[in-house]
A and B are shown apart, each in its own frame.
Chain A
């Protein structure tokens, strides 16, 4: 996203500057976090805190999935693709690349131009 905005406003170097400015604080933060975690991560209190943090992250990701899903999923049968992706990764233990390519191709063909699914689909996302 930042890349696209930077590109639109200032061309290639705008994009480069945008991504560097966005990444630097987070990068420094994570670098320091990795050092602290390496030094103190095993202490009982830190381990306890991290247990809470990891559980919270699961809730956070789930919230992201649901918000994204509400926006991105137009039909109830989209849920079939969602379910198939989860089964492919978590049950069949396929690589993300395999699932992305195989399921992605099927889904794109499902929505092929002139196909039934494409015609039935209301034109919601006219522009972005």
Chain B
């Protein structure tokens, strides 16, 4: 029971940090779920996150897996509500408010100011993950290849991730 309350607290808090993209909250998710609560290890968190990129819908549905990991089915449910509830509510209220504030001069300031910060937070999340995921020439090649392909062509990212899994099996598994 206390784990469920902790899950709700941790993911409710993380939910408020996801402005600009779920990855922005990743360093904080790592700190809280791995270092503070010890629900799982960092490689486990990273794997679940990566696999989550293949799933349908919001890529941050990977929090379901963390919830299940920590506390079974109920944990998964609690995490979804805690993680998506506040963002949804915030989007709903600020969405309505934001339209009404069209003439407010600070509106543009907030938009312009928060844009680079959220890009930076996203990039920081990416680095946090890269530090463990990109460990050698092979993994670096996979990451760069995926990046270049996505920037040049319109491909379903899930296919690239699937392909990378196969590349992984051949380059790290069959030795």
A interface residues (Cβ-Cβ under 8 A, vs B): 1, 3-4, 7, 12, 15, 19, 22-27, 29-31, 33-35, 37-38, 41, 44-45, 47-69, 72-74, 78-86, 88-90, 95-97, 99-100, 103-104, 106-115, 118, 121, 125
B23 at the interface (CB under 8 A from A): yes
29 A-B residue pairings within 8 Å (CB atoms)? A25-B55, A27-B64, A29-B56, A31-B64, A31-B68, A31-B76, A37-B65, A44-B173, A47-B172, A49-B165, A55-B138, A56-B142, A58-B126, A59-B150, A62-B147, A66-B151, A67-B151, A73-B115, A85-B117, A86-B123, A88-B124, A89-B125, A89-B127, A100-B17, A104-B114, A107-B113, A107-B116, A111-B113, A118-B108
Assess whether A29 is in contact with B147, with CB atoms less than 8 Å apart: no
Assess whether A57 is in contact with B53, with CB atoms less than 8 Å apart: yes
Assess whether B116 is in contact with A73, with CB atoms less than 8 Å apart: yes
Assess whether B125 is in contact with A61, with CB atoms less than 8 Å apart: yes
B82 at the interface (CB under 8 A from A): no
B133 at the interface (CB under 8 A from A): yes
B34 at the interface (CB under 8 A from A): no
> Residue on B with the closest CB to A29?
B55
Q: Which of A48, A74, A100 contacts B168 (CB 8 A)?
A: A48
B25 at the interface (CB under 8 A from A): yes
B169 at the interface (CB under 8 A from A): yes
B interface residues (Cβ-Cβ under 8 A, vs A): 13, 16-17, 19-21, 23-25, 27-28, 31, 44, 46-59, 61-65, 68-69, 76, 80, 84, 88, 91-92, 95-96, 105-106, 108-130, 132-134, 138-140, 142-147, 150-151, 157, 160-161, 163-169, 171-174
Contact status of A63 and B116, CB under 8 A, knowing A4-B91, A23-B80, A58-B129: no
What CA separation (Å) do A78 and B24 show in the bound complex?
A: 17
Contact status of A72 and B119, CB under 8 A, knowing A3-B92, A3-B95, A26-B57: yes
The 9 lowest CB-CB distance pairs between A and B, nearest first, are A52-B168, A85-B120, A59-B146, A48-B173, A26-B57, A56-B164, A107-B113, A113-B105, A34-B65
Q: Which of B124, B143, B151 contacts A56 (CB 8 A)?
A: B143
Q: Which of A1, A4, A56, A82 contacts B50 (CB 8 A)?
A: A56
By DSSP majority rule, is chain B's interface helix, strand, loop, or mixed?
A: helix
Closest CB of chain B to A52's CB: distance in Å?
A: 2
